[in-house]
Homo-oligomer: A and B are copies of this chain.
């Protein structure tokens, strides 16, 4: 591996960290309508638990495949579903690039979501791993798949804002 290869690998780290940052702030800033744009047209987003993953159980808490379903998650949140207003604050770290070939990058990172209710109550709402497949698209990076693996199977009250 040449120095340049290393550099490129390291540069890729930075670009993926930037992608994660964009992803997270669009959620935490409540710009949810932009959330689908981090994914490819046919992208997959699922939220499941470590328990289900370990037991190879197929059903997720959230499963979106394709722009339509991403859009529907947000439109339902905006117009159909009832819940107490709250916001997320994401921490993300420990980015690991598992594989990177032909412009397809398989990566893993850890997240921690602190939820704040409108009256001010804060709690650690979720933590776990992002397992991602990221692809190059017109010079930008997009998620072809993001699997959110929650450490705990317990969800406090409900899950409506994507993680």
Chain B residues near A108 (CB-CB < 8 A): 25
The chain B residue sitting closest to A50, CB to CB, is B87
Chain copies in the assembly?
3
Interface residues of A in 46-72 (CB under 8 A from B): 50
Interface on A for B, CB 8 Å cutoff? 6-7, 10-11, 13-15, 17-18, 20-22, 24-25, 28, 50, 87, 89-97, 108-110, 112, 114, 116, 120-124, 127-129, 151-154
- Bound-state CA distance A117–B123 (Å) is 17
Given contacts A24-B94, A25-B94, A89-B110, 12 further A-B pairs with CB under 8 A are: A13-B18, A21-B94, A28-B129, A87-B151, A90-B94, A91-B93, A91-B110, A114-B127, A116-B151, A121-B154, A122-B127, A122-B151
